[in-house]
Amino acid sequence: MTHTPWLSLMTFLPLVGVALLALLPKGDNERTAAFSRWIALGLSCLVLVIALCALRAFDPAQAGFQFVEKRSWIPSLGLSYHLGVDGISLWFVVLSALLSPIAILSGFAVKQRVRSFMAALLLLETMMIGAFCAQDFFLFYIFFEGVLIPMFLIIGVWGGDKRIYAAMKFFLYTFLGSVLMLVAILAMIQQAGTSDMSQLAGHKFPLQMACLLWIGFFASFAVKTPMWPFHTWLPYAHVEAPTAGSVILAGVLLKLGGYGFIRICLQMLPDASAFFAPLVVGLSLVAIVYTSLVALAQTDMKKLIAYSSVAHMGYVTLGLFSGTREGLEGAMMVMLSHGLVAAALFLCVGVLYERLHTREIARFTGVADVMPRYAGAMMAFTLASVGLPGTSGFIGEFLSMQGAWLYDGRVAAVAALGVILGAAYMLWLYRRVFFGSPVRQDVQAMQDITLREGAMLVPLLVLVVFIGLYPTAVRSVYQKSLEKVGLPTIQVAEVKP
Amino acid sequence: MISFAMIYPEALIAAAAMILLLWSAFRGEKAVREVGAAAFAVIIGATVLLMRQSGKELLFHDMFVVSDFTRLAKGLILAASGAALLFAPGYSIKGREPLKPEYFVLILLATLGMMLMVSAHDLIALYMGLELQNLALYVLVSIRRDEPKASEAGLKYFTLGALSSALLLFGLSLIYGFAGSTSYEAIADVLARTKGIHYGLSAGLGFVLAGMAFKISAAPFHMWTPDVYEGSSTPITAFLSAAPKIAAFGLMIGFLGGPFGSSLSVWSSGLIAVSILSMFWGSLGGLPQTDVKRLMGYSAIANMGTILIGLVVLDVKSVLVYLAVYALGTLGVLGGVTLMRRGGAPVQSIRDLSGLSQTHPVLAFVLAAFLFSLVGVPPLAGFFGKFYVLMAAVSAGKAWLAVIGVLASVIAAAYYLRLIKIMYFDEPKGLPLDPVSGKISSVAVGLLAVATTGFVLCPAPLIEAADRAAKSLLLP
């Protein structure tokens, strides 16, 4: 193969950044901090440019993997360094490449140990992009799990008051899920004799074994996504993480779970997925309704948005396991849209937090009066989160509900309840924070968004509206690849004794 | 015709140990530096001689076996001993009894014992190697005579070690009594001729396993580990934590995989119980620790339990890979502890690590790398060990054991993470630690850190060597 190694470049450019940061002269003075910020931002923008080039060069008419790179790595076990993207993973790569510079830009507000912070964010970018590109199961696991280290440090070092509890809970919870997945991966490699993910997708596992494997993967992805009742780490992680960490966590890391469900559970273990679909649909419904109710009761903005993320992920899993084409597409769209919208909402909360150092909803009233531009942006993202037609949130939620309807009318009815609740908690949040008149002095003194904050929010705003008005642009890229994914419809599979 | 090239490494170490012993007797304590340098050179020389060997051979009336397997195990032992030698400067403390040349001689003798253990092909040779190692280690643990904790550790280690040696020897004599020979081949013949295993032989095997479990500090024979780890000076703890474990596993693979390979079902169930118990005991016991070295003792117990998973399914490759990456991690952490001083005195309490990332960023970073490696998070080296051991369990149809193993590893992750939390998330407390001085030790720790983080780039050499080693054994 002689083409440009786009994927390796994207994966490892941020690592080059980490090396550069390590080479900067010692000390944590202002100059080193400024250098680190701009190096990190520059490299992540470069990655974004490469990602966009790759998106241009990608041929959506093909369903298979493109930009494939393959090198032998541990020959005795048949493991290889094998990267490739199809229409599904390409979008996640682009999403990671887009959110990383935005997160880094929001990380400019961090004042302590700037160099290490930027290095951690870059390391995180490498791991995320690597995980979406990996075509070898072993490599996938390395990247998937490697995410834990930088994220653990980001929450623990630069987080809020209860950061230590949050970081530990985040690490141990996800680690428990992923080691169970590791056993499942090993059993799969052992059974099929290959660690190549696309070959594994064609391998048929006996149903009994497939079900056990499925449980192993489910343990990991259900924690990562997160699904109710495995979501309890998420509110803590989000609340305590610095804004940049929350952006990446909500924007990309949660999607690793959904991506895993598509790539592994649905593609490799379709029968087991069909077998367990009612369970997943049930949990998704609980997630949608229950976490929406929990979100209603929150007094902390970040926690509210964190719970709304769990609810949105409920639509993703509902769509994925509804066994319909519409549900699958809906899940894909919800993930992409949520990646943009949740990231933006966390950025918006970060804007307020940087000004008043609190996220208490009750502390704010009448922000719209003092920060009109900010209020406008937040309105757009709130409506996108609620799923207003014309925003990216609508397409996904609609398709996902359609999938649920085709699966079972009652399921759709319950899920629709979640949509109403979603509108309720988001709009109520908006009313409490933005409307009314600014009573408190410190609220009155707040400045509208700065250029840096605008630079983070405007691209997201444009994309949210663009995708909402013209979803085909996104759809055309992943459509062919998504058609290849088997639907978890109940078939009478033979159980061999 | 014996080809002596096969025992050159051992011969070199034996001769050098004796010459250096005499040398230091004549020169007195002035000789520390030159003996230390010479001992390191001997380790390097032995490694070079080892690498020049090839092929498989039985020597000295089938008492001594050399193969790809013994070569890799010995190579790992030599590397671990070399690292422990480089940590030696961490031993000296101002105003205390200075480092004595015997330190290096004893390490050489212990290393020699370990190499003999790995190559043992006869019950007598097995015991000789083991005791040579043990005696040297007993002295090393209590070499700091003016330190009550070291004497206590030495005494505990010696008393319990002697007991376990007695058990082991009793087991060996039972095996000899019922098989009629001390030779591995003859024992294998007896086992092949009889249907099932004679109760006398299985009783002997049980005693031997109990004795070996003590040597590798597997539960329920682990009681000495935290005390000895805490009491010995840190370079010795580092040595204890890596090299003897590799040797003991080398011996167990040779012994269990050789004559008793056909009666796998007899001993594997017992070892599985020991393995599970060790993993949980080591993981839970480490949680409340306040001393880094004690904590590493519990970590050793847990890790030994994990390696036993590889042993009970007789997957030699996974055992070797795990041992190698575990040695990297534990040598690294303990080597890092040798670099920590406050006012010239060594510190080893977990509290002393607080805020290390702000006062000593590089040291904190390498320690974090070792700890994450011990947790088994990719892309660090420790992950590969876990990967191969779990793979071995899954391939042998023991996926349930793999699941138990990973569950225990999550518990153990909590205490490694606690160390990282204290280094990175907490603010510095109390007097700051001294700036890192010891150049040689820092270089050694740095090399271990490079190996731990860079392993992912080029894992093939070790894994292929382990593969060849496993094939050279031709287990049943």
- Helices A472-484 and A451-469 pack at an angle, to 10 degrees, of 60
Strands B345-346 and B57-59: unpaired
CB proximity A215 to B under 8 Å: no
For residue A491, the model assigns a pLDDT of 47
- Residue (of A223, A221, A243, A240) closest to A232 by Cα position: A223
Q: Which of A146, A186, A190 shows the shortest C-beta gap to B379?
A: A146
**Closest B-chain CA to A156:** B425
Name the residue of chain B whose CA is nearest to A79's CA: B460
DSSP B215-277: HTT-TTS-THHHHHHHHS-HHHHHHHHHHHHHHHHHHHHHHHHTTTGGGHHHHHHHHHHHHHH
C-alpha–C-alpha distance, residues B404 and B385, integer Å: 16
Judged by DSSP in three states, B421 sits in helix
Chain B: nearest CA to A361, how far in angstroms?
28
Average pLDDT on B279-303 reads 93
Q: What is the pLDDT of residues B412-458, one digit of tens each?
A: 999 999 999 999 888 888 788 888 877 888 899 999 999 999 998 88
| Lookup result for tokens 């002295």 | B139
Omega before B378 within 30 of 0, i.e. cis:
no
**What burial letters (b/e) apply to A388-409, b meaning 16+ CB within 10 Å?**
eeebbbbbbbbbbbbbbbbbee
Please tell me if residue A115 touches chain B, with a CB cutoff of 8 Å. no
Residue A390 region, left (φ>0) first, then alpha (ψ -120 to 50), else beta?
A: left
Angle (deg, nearest 10), helices B199-215 and B264-286: 30
- pLDDT tens for residues B206-244? 999 999 999 899 988 888 999 999 988 888 999 999 999
State yes or no: cis peptide before B148, omega within 30 of 0. Answer: no
Yes or no: say if A480 and A334 are a contact pair by the CB < 8 Å rule: no
CA distance B317 to B323: 10
- The candidate with the shortest Cα–Cα distance to B104, out of B9, B216, B29, is B29
Say whether B460 and A175 touch across the interface (CB within 8 A): no
**Spatial distance between the Cα atoms of B209 and B267, rounded to a whole number of angstroms:** 8
CB contact under 8 A, B394 and A164: no
Q: Is B429 helix (H, G, I), strand (E, B) or coil?
A: coil
B325 with B374: CB under 8 angstroms? no
**B9-63: pLDDT as tens digits:** 999 999 999 999 999 888 887 888 889 899 999 999 999 999 888 888 888 888 8
Report yes or no: A77 at the B interface, CB cutoff 8 Å: yes
Question: Given an 8 Å threshold on Cβ–Cβ distance, is B410 in contact with A176?
Answer: yes
Determine the residue of chain A that is closest to B466 in CA distance: A76
Query: Choosing among B366, B395, B410, which should be mutated to test the A contact, i.e. which has the most A CBs within 10 A?
Result: B410
The three-state secondary structure class of A136 is strand
Q: How many angstroms separate the CA atoms of A193 and A205, rounded?
A: 12
In this complex, how many residue pairs, one in chain A and one in chain B, have their CB atoms less than 8 Å apart?
Answer: 89
> Token pair of A112, please?
């302590």
The encoded tokens of residue A4 equal: 């440009």
Q: d(Cα B99, Cα B105) in Å, to the nearest integer?
A: 12
Amino acid making up residue A97? A
ipTM of the complex: 0.87
Q: Residues near B185 by Cβ (< 8 Å), separated by ≥ 6?
A: B62, B259
Residue B83: in which H helix or E strand, if any? helix B68-86
pLDDT reported for residue A489? 61
pLDDT tens per residue across span B178-209: 888 888 888 888 888 887 778 888 899 999 99
How distant is the Cα of B380 from the closest Cα of chain A, in angstroms? 9
Query: Average pLDDT of each block of 10 consecutive residues along chain A (497 residues)?
Result: 77 89 77 88 92 88 83 80 88 93 90 88 93 91 91 90 90 91 90 85 86 92 90 90 92 92 89 90 92 91 92 92 88 92 92 87 85 90 90 89 89 90 92 85 83 90 91 86 72 42
Task: Report the distance separating Cα A353 and Cα A335, nearest Å.
Answer: 26
Q: Minimal Cα distance from B392: which residue of A? A: A186
Q: Number of C-alpha atoms within 13 angstroms, CB side, residue B473?
A: 31
Q: Do A186 and B456 touch (CB under 8 A)?
A: no
Per DSSP, the residues of A340-353 read: HHHHHHHHHHHHHH
Q: Which of A146, A182, A189 sits opposite B406 (nearest CB)?
A: A182
Enter the tokens of residue A445.
């003194």
pLDDT number for residue A497: 40
Nearest to B104 by CA among B28, B21, B27: B21
Write out the residues of chain B at the interface with chain A, using a CB-CB cutoff of 8 A.
357-358, 361, 372, 375-379, 383, 386-387, 390-391, 394-395, 399, 402-403, 406-407, 409-410, 413-414, 417, 420-421, 424-425, 456, 459-460, 463-464, 467
Write the DSSP symbol of residue B144.
-
CB A322 within 8 A of CB A406: yes
Indicate the pTM of the whole model.
0.91
Indicate the pairing of strand B341-342 with strand B345-346. Answer: antiparallel
CA distances from A122 to A45, A100, A138, B367 (A): 11, 8, 22, 21
Mean pLDDT of all residues in chain B?
89
Lowest-confidence range among B52-56, B75-79, B133-137? B52-56
Binary contact (B387, A186; C-beta < 8 A): yes
Asked if the model's pLDDT at residue B476 lies above 50, the reply is no
* Helices A409-434 and A372-386: angle between axes, nearest 10 degrees: 170
Strand B64-66 with B57-59, pairing: antiparallel
Contact list in A for residue B410 (CB cut-off 8 A) is 172, 175-176, 179
Residue that wins the pLDDT comparison between B471 and B344: B471
Whole-number Cα distances in Å, B391 to A77, A138, A182, A399, B401: 11, 12, 9, 41, 11
| Alpha-carbon distances, residue B250 vs A318, B221, B328, B380 (angstroms) | 52, 19, 17, 24
